[in-house]
Structure 1
Amino acid sequence: MKNNQFAHIATPDSQKIAELEGIGYLTPEMLASKNLAEVWRELIIRAFPQALTASSQSEKLAALLADENTNLLTYTDQGKFSVTAFYNVALQLLEFLPTIDFDFSNPLDAMKKINLPYIDNISTTTALFSAWYELLCTHTKNGQLLLDNLATQGFFVNFYGKISQPLFFNGKAQPVFDTDRLIREVVYVESSLDTDKDGKLDLLKVEVIRPVETNIGLRVPALYTASPYNQGTNDEDGDKLMHSMNVPLIHKVPNNTTYDDIAYHSPQLSLPDPRVTAGTTTEASETFSREFSYTLNDYFLARGFAAVYAAGIGTMESDGFRTCGSENETASTVAIIEWLNNQRRAFTNKTDNVQITAWWCNNAIAMTGRSYLGTLATAAATTGVAGLKTIISEAAISNWYDYYRDGGLVVAPSGFPGEDADVLALECFSRKKQAGDYLTVKNLFDQHLQQITEDQDRTTGNYNSFWDARNYLKNIKNIKADIVMVHGLNDWNVKPRNVYQLWNSLKELPVTRKLILHQGQHIYINNFRSLDFTDMMNLWLSYKLYNVPNKAAEVLPDILVQDNLQAETWHNYQDWDSNEPIQNLLLQQHELVPENSELQDGAAHFQDYLNEEAFSLYSSNHSLWKEHLLQVENSPLKNNRLIFKSAIFDEELLLRGTPEVTVKVSTNKDHGLLSFMLVDYGSKKRLKPIPTTLARKSLGLGYHWREDDLTEFTMDKETPWKMISVGHINLQNRTSLWKNDELLPNTFYPVSLKLQPTFYKIPKNHQLGLVIYATDMRMTVRGNEEQSYSIQLAESKLALHLSKKS
């Protein structure tokens, strides 16, 4: 393994000693002693808080080796101490294995190789304390800080019930709060919406988990996760509503539609009066047993933070309807923040009108979550709502058009062919799970859902008012919260364009932005072994929500990118786009050639029709379709695509930003589409597409508390290629997503589009390939018409940013 820690703060020796005292690690006797062996022994004993007697502690010492032939108990009984012995023991405490991970004769070699911090001269107790501090702040082989490991064994139990404020070590909050005594309560926030038109403002169910110490004066920040899924989903109904992808592309009547014609404007609504308060209280009247939690939030519940979960309008035990990304869903999300910030009312239940405030909250709120959850966090941030200090948006949508559409085409998120906004609205409308409640709104909800189906417009695939209402990028200027963005470079569900556009849109704002790009698909990364993501977020949230002066904004990298060629390797960058000049590769028969090459005129041709057997096979087996599409020799799809390959690269190159394809194309119909894949061709062992589970439930989130699996991307078997990026365009949307261009059969038209952004290392001796085809079995509609396409080679090119620097 390779240790990567970005949340560690360089700390002066005097502060290290003060912090060690603060967490109860150092006693006055240890501070007064000058005997290195004795002090070292006491430090190690405290690394076993589960050992409650002298005999148990001696057994723990005897189980460790100071050198190849001497256990630690014997070694320290003899009054010995050495740097070599210190790090032999340190590596064992960090769960590394002798003879496998390190050699007793030279542990510092292993420390260097694994990238673990060390001090090579420990000749004073001050240096010893410094080295021990660094050790507590070091990740174990199994992916979390040694101090966090000690916490799961009960190191911080002595603080339970005795602390009135959070405790920080190396700038990060520590688990000094008893999770066995967490308070769970439910409130109902009154929104400024009446989406179900019942004449009453929609109430929104909120689940709160907070430390018991808040009852005696502690005020804590809130980690708020807006999850439309956490009250259940209607999966069977969603499956029934899925749209067929086996429909033809239509000819769109040419028009001169402008953006002003389709721009969304919020309607003026007449809302019901607020409820009349019948009383106030500080005690909830409803509780719950288990939330649909996020393990990052679980981690912070032991550290002086509250976790808040709300599913929003149209979910079980809340009022209203789901609207799939509209401004009403944003308002529903923001309403909870306003309650947490003492700007909005909530009630103990839906009938008594007894008001309850978030009196336990310090008015500092962060939002967390992935996918729809991160999307709503992004949406909330674009309102500039007070109290929202930061969001951690993972795999988040910034523009819903880029989720369900692409270039004037209906394009499914990978893995969900046929899903659309109406399907997601129905799936998340968990009010349906309570029959009595559902009966009161069934007819109106059916009409509401039908309106979504109509407005989303699967017929043309154009950008319209419906999608403009769900484009958060329009409101970027309102953002005041600092933002941490996390996204997978191989996420073909919420495609990378969503985070790329958000990152670039934030450049002109006075907010701090951080970006982490991993090699995964649509996943969380807080349980990776190779990255201290949880520690990074601890540093960040301690800074943002508790005002700890840990310099998190400077310490954490602006952009952190996981290497696609080497396992467990991450790199820092200042920006996603490259400053390198654009390189143009021109299309020739089967080749991508440099601009200064001698060109030949002519066209290349492919068809977009399959016989019934092949069409049925590939419609249901997308992996096989992709394999055959990219297969160079003897492919069953050789007539259904064009492959252009560069010369073999004689050195490793880095591809950054958005590759752009320009082609001159004609088709034999009055409608058509083009799809493109950018491909790394060359046999090589690559990272597996999904993380490997290294250890089940090995990451403890606190003492007697929850756990998470340890995962990591590991190397896969050798593969002949790797898809880097993809893009699609309707040939009638050459100039605009909302304007229909004419498309005459057998007439060449210039078409340009930017592929999904990437950050990809192309290995030495590999080739870059551009694959051009029409129907994408995974994403686009599948008309399977007798249609052919021609590409004018001399007037077609691929523009990209390639650099020799890593």
Structure 2
Amino acid sequence: MPTRIPLPARSTIWRALATAVVAVLTAAFLTPTAARAATAISPAPRESRPVYSYAHAVRESVWVDTGLDEDGDGRTDRVAADIVRPSEPARQGRKVPVIMDASPYYSCCGRGNESQVKTYDPQGRVVQMPLFYDNYFVPRGYAFVGVDLAGTNRSDGCVDVGGRSDIQSAKAVVDWLNGRATGYTSRAGTKTVRAGWTDGRTGMIGKSWDGTIANGVAATGVQGLRTVVPISAISSWYDYYVAQGAPLYDGGPDELAGYVENDAAHAHCAAVRKKLADGSPRSGDWTPLWTERDYVKDAAKVRASVFLVHGMQDLNVRTKHLGQWWDALARHGVERKIWLSQTGHVDPFDYRRGAWVDTLHRWFDHELLGYDNGIDREPMADIERHPDQWVTSRVWPPRTTGTAVLHPAPGTRAGVGTLGLRPARGTETFTDDPKLSETDWAGRLTTPTPEKAGFLTAPLTHDLRLSGSATVTVTATPTTASAHLSAVLVDVGPDTVRDYADAGEGITTLASRSCWGESTAGDSACFKETAARTARVDYTVFSRGWADLGHYASLGKGVPLTPGRAYTMTLRLAATDHVVPKGHRLALVIAGTDRDLIDPPSTKPTLTVFLPGTTANLPLVGGAAAFARATAGSAPVRPGPALLKGVRATHPARHVPLG
């Protein structure tokens, strides 16, 4: 039945009306400055308002001592923090919270869909701060701080790609904002400066490498960091470059460091780049370098709330990163929220702009200003089910999610294998073909082909929702001393999806602009709008995972395989939230090299998959019972030799640049 909300007493209503009238009359006779001040200090507002002048904001730069000397020049490294903050609160004796984006891209590559870089006036004060954060939030009583990671733009030190120097670059600024580190008015001077204008409450945000730094700083447990908003961010750098021993396509951390470093770092940081190269062997072995850059292991230290955002078709920073980070944070009771889109490596500002700005505004108001605006009581997850069509989930994954163990069964002369709840006997054989990818396998799912082993359910009689991270355990016998494995989950059926394989990774950039905040002559708050770029498909690959079979026993050291011997390995697939609709079929593909996404092994093995030792362990809402219900009464379909249509091709993993 409906909840009854008691009405206030009549005297209470009249008192409230009288108070409101006085407030309106008072505001009418105040000067504009006094009116803004009165609005800003009204008790417990539910939303911060744009009452401060962006045109007259304070713009200053501070160089914060990190305590490290990574470039070996005998001086501790200082990182540059460019600050835009409202001028009025300090005059009123009020302190403001901070929104911070620490990035290596402020000069080399740019931020956002329009690749904006920082610009400066002749006195070295920042004129253009990339993205909309300063334009929108500074008038609402926040300071924005853009930090140049060590070795980039105007900062000292070396780029160490997610290691101690990277993380300390940003952590030192959080410490300075809270009075625990020393800041200077210049890069080499001795005049110190304190952050007396802030209350120290800091929220970090950023996409890709920037969001990765937010994760890493949160994992230090630094005091004063209240929330982080990592967008398409890494949680463990090993998993960015390697998939369970299988090197991912293209590049290494030394190459990435060289791409973003400034001239001084390029001249003085060769030893750091060599350390990065030596510590990330193409063998795929886990080394101490990767341990240092694994933030998941330190999830217990996280004090900040976390608002995760990721594209479920991101093949640059794959959703394995969000899955393992989310699960680790959940185990330690961290306050969490999540958005999952159908895009690739795309910022939500460029696929759901209005809702994103509103949600981010309310999130920061709640986490940094302490406003009780109810965002913490709203559904935990927003999920894009179809292009521009979103649903919510009260908890993510839903509490009814359970692992369903599915068993592949061999095909017959009539077609490909099947997928069900009952264990099966037999084997399937495929030969690695490095020229083919997951789109080739999925496009030929209904036809037996030599480069894959495919297994399909019959058409579903009910929708089936997968929510979270899956694993696939494979028992296989190779014919050579090296072998790679891929496992992908496919929704077989017609749909319209975001074209994540297009250059825009699911969006098209338009010529029109929309404005979000206040502008100055040097920093516009107006950005190009976007629209969903879609594709009509017959199938959708919605989760994938890869591994080197030689690392079956340990990620720390791969070993040569013995031809003819069976090995068992569990592949960890990327997290997802996907509904396979009624009438579609769920498929599992097991194959070798996924072209452009992992490097091929040194040989081209044929692998015999032992089906009794092979399972797909899927996070299904409703568990195994939901799978049984969705497949009950469904008649098997004899597949024809049709070529299914999907996205054109997968994007290679692009390690340079990350953003």
In which range does the TM-score fall when normalised by the shorter chain? 0.7 to 0.9
| Residues 223 and 308 in structure 1, CA contact (< 8 A), matched pair in contact too | yes
Q: Alpha carbons of 1:695 and 1:548: their partners in 2 closer, same or farther (altered >3 Å)? A: farther
Instruction: Please name the residue that 2:253 is paired with.
Output: 421
Separation of aligned partners in 1, 2:19 and 2:231? 37
| Residues 161 and 213 in structure 1, CA contact (< 8 A), matched pair in contact too | no
Partner letter of residue 105 of structure 2?
Y
Q: The residue matched to 2:537 in structure 1 has which SS?
A: strand
Aligned to 1:329, which of 144, 166, 173? 166
Q: Alpha carbons of 1:16 and 1:754: their partners in 2 closer, same or farther (altered >3 Å)? A: farther
Instruction: Please name the residue that 1:147 is paired with.
Output: none
Shift of 1:448: 2.3
In structure 2, stretches of 5+ residues that fail to align are: 1-6, 112-120, 501-505, 631-659
Deviations 1:279-314 (A, max 9, x none): xxxxx9954343442324431122111110111211
Aligned to 2:465, which of 639, 648, 654? 654
Instruction: Please name the residue that 1:571 is paired with.
Output: 392
Instruction: Please name the residue that 2:637 is paired with.
Output: none
Separation of aligned partners in 1, 2:190 and 2:233? 36
Q: Alpha carbons of 1:454 and 1:213: their partners in 2 closer, same or farther (altered >3 Å)? A: same
Separation of aligned partners in 1, 2:237 and 2:393? 29
Shift of 1:719: 0.8
Instruction: Please name the residue that 1:561 is paired with.
Output: 383
Partner letter of residue 721 of structure 1?
Y
Separation of aligned partners in 1, 2:50 and 2:321? 35
Shift of 1:183: 2.0
Separation of aligned partners in 1, 2:165 and 2:14? 49
Aligned to 1:580, which of 389, 402, 410? 402
| Residues 482 and 601 in structure 2, CA contact (< 8 A), matched pair in contact too | no
Instruction: Please name the residue that 1:640 is paired with.
Output: 451
Partner letter of residue 507 of structure 2?
P
Instruction: Please name the residue that 1:166 is paired with.
Output: 40
Partner letter of residue 546 of structure 1?
L
Q: Alpha carbons of 1:285 and 1:482: their partners in 2 closer, same or farther (altered >3 Å)? A: farther
The normalised TM-score by structure 1 is 0.67
Deviations 1:424-468 (A, max 9, x none): 1111212x2xxxx46xx72x422321221111111x101111100
Shift of 1:390: 1.1
Q: The residue matched to 1:521 in structure 2 has which SS?
A: coil
Instruction: Please name the residue that 1:371 is paired with.
Output: 208
Q: Alpha carbons of 1:713 and 1:798: their partners in 2 closer, same or farther (altered >3 Å)? A: same
Shift of 1:411: 1.3
Equivalent positions of 1:180-195 (< 5 A) are 180-195=55-70
Note the aligned Cα RMSD (angstroms).
Answer: 3.5
Q: Alpha carbons of 1:513 and 1:164: their partners in 2 closer, same or farther (altered >3 Å)? A: same
Equivalent positions of 1:426-437 (< 5 A) are 426-430=258-262, 432=263, 437=264
- Structure 1 residue 747 corresponds to structure 2 residue 557: no
Deviations 1:562-587 (A, max 9, x none): 224x7422212313265335242323
Instruction: Please name the residue that 2:525 is paired with.
Output: 706
Higher strand share: 2
Shift of 1:368: 1.0
Aligned to 2:359, which of 506, 512, 536? 536
Instruction: Please name the residue that 1:380 is paired with.
Output: 217
Separation of aligned partners in 2, 1:343 and 1:29? 40
Largest Rg, 1 or 2: 1
Taking every aligned residue pair, what percent have the same amino acid on both sides? Answer: 24
Separation of aligned partners in 2, 1:500 and 1:569? 20
- Structure 1 residue 288 corresponds to structure 2 residue 125: yes
Q: The residue matched to 2:611 in structure 1 has which SS?
A: strand
| Residues 342 and 497 in structure 2, CA contact (< 8 A), matched pair in contact too | no
Aligned to 1:525, which of 348, 355, 369? 348
- Structure 1 residue 391 corresponds to structure 2 residue 228: yes
Deviations 1:393-424 (A, max 9, x none): 11111111111111111114xxxxx1221111
Shift of 1:717: 4.2
Partner letter of residue 386 of structure 1?
Q
| Residues 186 and 286 in structure 1, CA contact (< 8 A), matched pair in contact too | no
Partner letter of residue 651 of structure 1?
H
Aligned to 1:482, which of 305, 320, 340? 305
Separation of aligned partners in 2, 1:218 and 1:681? 58
- Structure 1 residue 594 corresponds to structure 2 residue 404: no
- Structure 1 residue 345 corresponds to structure 2 residue 182: yes
Q: The residue matched to 2:348 in structure 1 has which SS?
A: coil
Q: Alpha carbons of 1:797 and 1:546: their partners in 2 closer, same or farther (altered >3 Å)? A: closer
Q: The residue matched to 1:173 in structure 2 has which SS?
A: coil
Q: Alpha carbons of 1:755 and 1:509: their partners in 2 closer, same or farther (altered >3 Å)? A: closer
The normalised TM-score by structure 2 is 0.82
- Structure 1 residue 691 corresponds to structure 2 residue 499: no
Q: The residue matched to 2:107 in structure 1 has which SS?
A: coil
Instruction: Please name the residue that 2:644 is paired with.
Output: none
Instruction: Please name the residue that 1:604 is paired with.
Output: 428
Instruction: Please name the residue that 2:270 is paired with.
Output: 446
Shift of 1:676: 1.3
Separation of aligned partners in 2, 1:16 and 1:178? 35
| Residues 419 and 457 in structure 2, CA contact (< 8 A), matched pair in contact too | yes
Equivalent positions of 1:68-467 (< 5 A) are 158=32, 162-163=36-37, 166=40, 171-216=46-91, 217-233=93-109, 286-412=123-249, 418-430=250-262, 432=263, 437=264, 442=267, 444-458=268-282, 460-467=283-290
| Residues 286 and 348 in structure 1, CA contact (< 8 A), matched pair in contact too | no
Instruction: Please name the residue that 2:655 is paired with.
Output: none
Point out the more displaced range, 789-798 or 221-230. 789-798
Q: Alpha carbons of 1:177 and 1:372: their partners in 2 closer, same or farther (altered >3 Å)? A: same
Q: The residue matched to 1:582 in structure 2 has which SS?
A: strand
Instruction: Please name the residue that 1:765 is paired with.
Output: 583
Q: Alpha carbons of 1:16 and 1:183: their partners in 2 closer, same or farther (altered >3 Å)? A: farther
Separation of aligned partners in 1, 2:340 and 2:31? 37
Separation of aligned partners in 2, 1:631 and 1:550? 48
Q: Alpha carbons of 1:634 and 1:750: their partners in 2 closer, same or farther (altered >3 Å)? A: closer
| Residues 352 and 388 in structure 2, CA contact (< 8 A), matched pair in contact too | no
Instruction: Please name the residue that 1:80 is paired with.
Output: none
Separation of aligned partners in 2, 1:711 and 1:23? 43
Instruction: Please name the residue that 1:243 is paired with.
Output: none
| Residues 645 and 770 in structure 1, CA contact (< 8 A), matched pair in contact too | yes
| Residues 674 and 730 in structure 1, CA contact (< 8 A), matched pair in contact too | yes
Q: Alpha carbons of 1:475 and 1:660: their partners in 2 closer, same or farther (altered >3 Å)? A: closer
Separation of aligned partners in 1, 2:312 and 2:18? 40
Q: Alpha carbons of 1:20 and 1:452: their partners in 2 closer, same or farther (altered >3 Å)? A: farther
Q: The residue matched to 1:290 in structure 2 has which SS?
A: strand
Instruction: Please name the residue that 2:649 is paired with.
Output: none
Aligned to 1:675, which of 486, 491, 501? 486
Partner letter of residue 421 of structure 1?
P
